[in-house]
A and B are shown apart, each in its own frame.
Chain A
Amino acid sequence: MSDRHQNELVEAHLVLADGTVFEGEAMGAVVEVATGEVVFNTVLSGYQEVITDPSYAGQVISFTYPHIGNYGISEADSESARPFCRGVIVRELAHRPSNWRSTVDLGTWLAAHGVPGITGIDTRRLTRHIREAGSMPCAFGTADEATLRAAAQAERGTDGLDLVAGVTTPVRYTVGDGPLRVVAYDFGIKTSILRQLSRIATVEVVPASTPAHELLDNPPDGVFLSNGPGDPAAVTYAISNIAGLLGQVPVFGICLGHQLLATALGGDTYKLPFGHHGGNHPVKRLRDNAVEITSQNHNYAVTVGSVNSADVTHLNLNDGVVEGLRSRDVAAFSVQYHPEAGPGPHDARYLFEEFKDLMIAFRAVH
């Protein structure tokens, strides 16, 4: 009878900061109270990559697709050494995963990493609520509703917080052995990005706070600005470091790296009502009007028209969000979305080649 699901379900609740209550059952690490900013992600596959993406630090991820955990966990698919998110919300957690690469089921793995979760939630109702009311703090767990409500209201969310400090590497390390030399700022870098970069370069990953001059002592072929969690405006040290690098070395930024580059170029950022979290956003590449289906994960975006010295290279076809920038003055470009995928479509991987070409061209001139 080992196939039967006889283990008792532990009732749990999810309460949003505005008091909205959902009922479900505890999964993962069973806790009385977990809190964070709730966001929804619309991917159909790739839950493991999402959960291990450090950009979710401070957030509770709700998956819109109901069945999560179907193919278990395969260590090679993790985007970082451990999950940084505060929790996971699903409609239906798979008890028995099925995939030849899987080594453990999602629930057990979350518990092992101390990540609390809740299953059985009407996640569509939650999505519609966030869509209308915006991302907001939440609390969930086995505690009573009143306790959870208080915890949700006490949770401050991600605005104005430097969440990068909590996820960046404490020490430098090197990956890959490509012909070029790239220094990658780790604001919460994903393994998929390193995998793509290391195909073109030897990549030195450095802590987020590494001063620009340390890099310029031995100028690399290019500097990469990684993705990462939270509010770009709160990562002031990174902005000034980037400003110090511009013009000295080619720069390529992704996601938070894109926002930081834009800010360093004089632009502004703002918070979207509920962000873009999914693998199906259409982005138009303006140079030839081609459409790329992109992987996205961000709550903040660059204000349209705020970066005078750069051209907008890519636009989100759903809502007009700036998806790509290229400086007219210096060798620097960036995209808001995730060309490395992990999870998501591979449509935009050519951008890593463009970074390579930019570095080679820069080296030829300088």
Chain B
Amino acid sequence: MPKRTDIHSILLIGSGPIVIGQASEFDYSGTQACRVLRDEGYRVILVNSNPATIMTDPEFADRTYVEPLDADVVAAVIERERPDALLPTLGGQTALNLAVALSERGVLDRYKVELIGASIEAIHTAENRERFKSAMTEIGLAVPNSGFAYHLDEAVKVGDEVGYPVIIRPSFIMGGGGTGIAADAEELLRLAETGLAASPISEILIEKSIAGWKEYELEVMRDHADNCVVVCSIENLDPMGVHTGDSITVAPAQTLSDVEYQRMRDAAFACIRRIGVDTGGSNIQFAVDPATGEMVVIEMNPRVSRSSALASKATGFPIAKIAARLAVGYTLDEIPNDITRMTPASFEPTIDYVVTKVPRWAFEKFPGTSGVLGTRMQSVGEAMAIGRTFPESLQKGLRSLEHGRWGLNCDPGEAALDEFDDDELVRRAAVATPDRPFQLEGALRRGISVERLHQATGVDPWFLDQICLITDERGRLTSIGTAGGMTRRDWRRAKRLGFADAQMAWLWGVPEHDVRAARLAAGVKATFKTVDTCGAEFDANTPYHYSTYEDEDEAQGGQRPTVVILGSGPNRIGQGIEFDYCCVHASFALRDAGFDTVMVNCNPETVSTDYDTSDRLYFEPLTYEDVMNVLEVEKEQLLGVIVSLGGQTPLKLAGRIPAELVLGTPPAAIDEAEDRERWNALCIRLGIPQPDGGTAADLDAALTITNRIGYPALVRPSYVLGGRAMEIVYNDEDLARAMAELAGFGSLGREGGLSAERPVLVDRFLEDAIEVDVDALRDATGEVLIGAIMEHVEEAGVHSGDSACVIPPPTLTAAIVAVIEGHTRAIAEALGVRGLLNVQYAVQRDNVYVIEANPRASRTVPFVAKATGVPLAKVAARVMVGATLAELRAEGVLKPPAPGAHVSVKEAVLPFNRFPDVDTLLGPEMRSTGEVMGIDVTFGLAFAKSQTAAGDRLPERGTVFLSLADRDKPGGLIAARRFVELGFGLAATGGTARYLQDNGVPVGEVVGKVGQGPSGPGSGGGDSGRSAVDLIANGEIDLVVNTPRGRGPRADGSYIRLAANVQGVPCLTTAAAALAAAGGIADWARHGLSVRSLQEFHEEGQQRLDL
């Protein structure tokens, strides 16, 4: 049956901000769905709060609502747009949960919106664990022995019945939030409490733990004619007990015989049919007892998932695209396979390579976390690597992570294992942590047996044996000892096992360049193979390649001038989807302009690694060696390489790629902005004031600087994005500790520590300054376009990535704005920028100081584009290959910035709910994983929307708790007064309460900060005898305003913030944010909710220009 003609408009719900467990894979799936549905002629209405996504580009939908993903808001969109259908299966758990909420509220019935893709019944059967369990039992599939609990005493009863250890799984959650393994009743109680809180229906499943079993996943698709196919099987290297999002996973399954695999396939089909997913993709997880082959079903997602994105990239089968087509009525056999074009999508991909996904964690950002992996997902991103064999793909995957490792050991990082004796090493490997693969290799190298490691870790002997191949090869390389001693066969064997030139160079103590030269001289160079869904059985039309070391090279350069775009690698805090957005835009813009575009990236969650985003895709690690291999293939038509759109990852390579190939701002200018001395000289020459400061490679040098400039001082490493290890220090002791951490014990240790080439920047910290970000563009003629000036809500000192920011700036005077624009133009000119430039300023009492300038894409580029309608990244890409702004205006690519009557607020989304023991206080180290945008006609409304979108919906009534540092009291007073005017009651700690009362603001309850007695270290109770923590825990507080006292390393107030975090009460940690919130609540009360699409905002802006 062809597509449905009885529906004309379809509402798609995105997944909102990037959070742990729900990342850019849904931008990939949503973007694919938007494109497909529009190609099919449907009117597409999209709601997503995340401005950094590609799907929220106005060109991907007919109506794009960048609005909070909240049932009220989506209901308002439905009321306004009256879509015929809602497709909820491509926006992750967020979209699915919203669909359920809209259905339960009767919104879908009221507006006659048909749910397509999955029915409410199916969603409930899959997501409600009790119903899922009985459904599986009904069709004869085993599930682990388990029971449900709705409160704590019930939990203990079930735990006793099931038998310990047990695993706790809350219903209706994603990414394993609130799950854990309990060894006894005591642990169960603790976990059940968080689990019940995490489940929106307060239901948890307590299930017999099968930790140690092998874990598998099948990606299944079904059409409305009941045709089912398996797209991909995935096997986890880590056994059950580690969340699959935190496991190293491998496709296809490696250790299942066909008998076992087909049994699993039958079970998967039975499951998807019983659950009743009518059309689309689902993933079903299984566990297999390695000793008996017994198989149980763990769970199924009735939607496209993170694994679907991985499976799509791993096989070339575009699950989201096909799911969208199936949802509108096509059957699998009616859809052609994009890659072969000659065969239909109703087949099962077969692959002739191995895909390994390795997660990337950010534990260094969250001091106090244990770094131990469990059933709650903690990784913030992932890299995928393709090799012909598992060892090759594993080593490629590990070096793709950019975590300072070059493969599976055989690099400086392996020294960390030296301190452990054999028993300790095995003991450590037995606990799942990010270091496990390195520990396994280290142990095997010491001669510890596969059997012993298998017993200790549960890692399958096959994987261990494959790691042994790497170990053995290293032994051979060691005995050969030099690059000169290697024969052609030797090189080929080592490269086929995934050894990087850099690893061999380290092993032999020679420069990497020598290894590369000797290898090429021996005739061993990378060959590229194609991902084609069919194991080469049919001809592939899609140039989606990976490197390996084989006989035949399938990659060919293009016929047109070619631009290589280097992507941003795995998502991490500080470098995420925003940069993928920029890379994808560059590719689109350059393709439109007649260039061949080539993408190099290794992140499976992104649009950039979709095989039809660019003319050619190379799924490769972003290292010098791997990038040079691609440039070699593309050299005939190669115009150049774009390094400035993918964040710090490609920028780090800029210096090693031949300078003449770097497009846009020359590497020397990038260095000039990064190199402290030259940058200072430039600012002095231009007469632009900077905070005092200097660079230091050791503590003595740092002390010399602070003696000159005084405290507080901002200490930060150069060449690091996202404020890694950035800190504000208040005295010599702080400084000494910060320098020691930077020297190698802290988070930078992994990236090489301190050196004269990588010094630390020490600057005077400007207190109470307003921070301002500017994104600008300059072309070859010298014309500068100011994209936007963004004012931060939080003051300087909070990392710009964690701070809310506003377009247009609400408090800056026209004069200040003019000064900022002038400085930005001058800097762009002086650096010789060709492309994007981001400049950060601090405005302190009418003085504008420049903090830093980066001649590259910033993370605010997509937000600016959504706020102003100017496609900065596209324009930048064109400018980098020679177009002028005037030409782009003439072409219509560049429209003038449209001021409009709207205000846009970008708010950061922080992962504290994943790390319940971590202080939520914001600081100079960036910790947010994603962002949301609120857009409306006043700052207050836009701010309120941004808070709702970030998951901290501001209360409309109730009690606000305040605990303010002295310096924040004047600002806090204004906010408090407004809260009272709005009808809120106040509670406050002693000092704050006195200050407020002295200034005529009534405080209902005066409390101590924490409880007296056993619940925490006491610091004195207040009048009521109750502590702030008690109040918050009792649910008596609706909003917390807690600003830290002083600005040193402090635990002060952290109990309040922790309690708010646990209780899910919005918690603001700056007076500025409190004031903005009060404004937002007031505006919200006055105007009520209204929704409006980006297209309307932008069109209105353009119309105003025309007047």
Contacts and interface: CB of A to CB of B under 8 A. Distances in A.
Contacts of A345: 262, 265, 348
Nearest to B344: A317
Interface stretch (B460-468, B585-593, B989-997): B460-468
Given A124-B552, A284-B333, A318 B462 contact: no
B258 A46 contact: yes
Contact of A96 (B262, B343, B465, B551): B465
B447 interface: yes
Nearest to B465: A96
Contact of B529 (A23, A48, A124): A124
Contact of B225 (A46, A289, A346): A289
Contact of B389 (A40, A76, A91): A91
Nearest to A71: B257
B255 A99 contact: yes
A196 to B, nearest CB: 13
B537 interface: yes
Nearest to B450: A3
Interface string A313-349: 0000110000000000000000000000111111000
Interface residues of A, number: 61
A271 interface: no
B332 interface: yes
A278 B535 CA distance: 10
Interface stretch (A59-67, A202-210, A227-235, A240-248): A59-67
Interface in A88-128: 91-92, 94-101, 122-125, 127-128
B469 A5 contact: yes
Residue of A64, A66, A91 ringed by the most chain B CB atoms within 10 A? A66
Contacts of B265: 345-346
A76 B447 CA distance: 35
Interface stretch (B349-357, B430-438, B1089-1097): B349-357
A342 B462 CA distance: 23
B333 A99 contact: no
Contacts of B344: 282, 317-318
Contacts of A46: 257-258, 261
A65 B350 contact: yes
B346 A125 contact: no
B418 interface: no
A237 to B, nearest CB: 34
Given A49-B258, A124-B529, A67 B390 contact: yes
B1015 interface: no
A278 B388 contact: no
Contacts of B552: 122, 124-125, 128
B150 interface: no
B535 A42 contact: yes
Nearest to A123: B352
B462 A97 contact: yes
B538 A318 contact: yes
B293 A280 contact: no
Given A49-B258, A98-B255, A127 B468 contact: no
A5 B343 CA distance: 42
Interface in B322-366: 331-333, 342-344, 346-354
Contacts of A147: none
Given A42-B535, A96-B461, A124 B352 contact: yes
Contacts of B537: 40, 42, 64, 127, 131, 278
A43 B233 CA distance: 13
A128 B536 contact: yes
A36 B756 CA distance: 65
A22 interface: yes
A280 B347 contact: yes
A64 B351 CA distance: 8
B269 to A, nearest CB: 9
B354 A101 contact: no
Contacts of A49: 258
B1077 interface: no
A95 B333 contact: no
Interface string B383-408: 00000111000000000000000000
A76 B293 CA distance: 14
A290 B269 CA distance: 15
Contact of B536 (A4, A64, A67, A343): A64
B256 A45 contact: yes
A74 interface: yes
Interface in B222-265: 225-227, 229, 233, 252-262, 265
A291 B227 contact: yes
A45 B257 contact: yes
A1 interface: yes
B266 interface: yes
A77 B346 contact: no
A245 B266 CA distance: 36
The B interface, classified by DSSP as helix, strand, loop or mixed, is: loop
A346 B266 CA distance: 8
B550 interface: yes
A318 B346 CA distance: 9
Contact of A91 (B253, B260, B388, B469): B388
Given A66-B388, A291-B333, A317-B333, A3 B535 contact: no
B472 A6 contact: yes
Contacts of B276: none
Contact of B262 (A100, A284, A318, A344): A344
Contacts of B354: 66-67
A20 to B, nearest CB: 10
A359 interface: no
Interface in A62-90: 64-67, 70-71, 74, 76-77
Nearest to B530: A124
A44 interface: yes
B292 interface: yes
B227 A70 contact: no
A6 B479 CA distance: 13
Contact of A344 (B233, B257, B258, B444): B258
A194 B255 CA distance: 27
Interface in B869-899: none
A66 B389 contact: yes
Given A2-B449, A125-B551, A65 B352 contact: yes
B293 A3 contact: no
A95 B255 CA distance: 13
A44 B233 CA distance: 10
B291 interface: yes
A45 B253 contact: yes
A281 interface: yes
Interface string B731-757: 000000000000000000000000000
Contacts of A280: 347-350, 534
Given A42-B534, A77-B258, A131-B537, A95 B465 contact: yes
A122 to B, nearest CB: 4
B782 interface: no
Contact of A66 (B226, B290, B353): B353
Given A1-B447, A282-B346, A94 B472 contact: no
Contacts of A91: 352, 388-389
Contacts of B475: 4
A5 B465 CA distance: 9
B389 A64 contact: no
Nearest to A292: B227
Given A44-B253, A99-B256, A100-B293, 7 more contacts: A44-B252, A71-B257, A71-B462, A76-B259, A92-B388, A124-B352, A290-B226
14 contacts: A1-B447, A4-B472, A5-B468, A40-B537, A42-B537, A67-B354, A67-B389, A74-B259, A77-B258, A122-B551, A124-B352, A124-B550, A280-B349, A290-B227
- Complex A-B, nearest 5 residue pairs according to Cβ-Cβ distance, in ascending order: A46-B258, A343-B258, A64-B535, A98-B462, A125-B552
Interface of B: 225-227, 229, 233, 252-262, 265-266, 290-293, 331-333, 342-344, 346-354, 388-390, 444, 447, 449-450, 460-462, 464-465, 468-469, 471-472, 475, 489, 529, 534-539, 550-552, 554
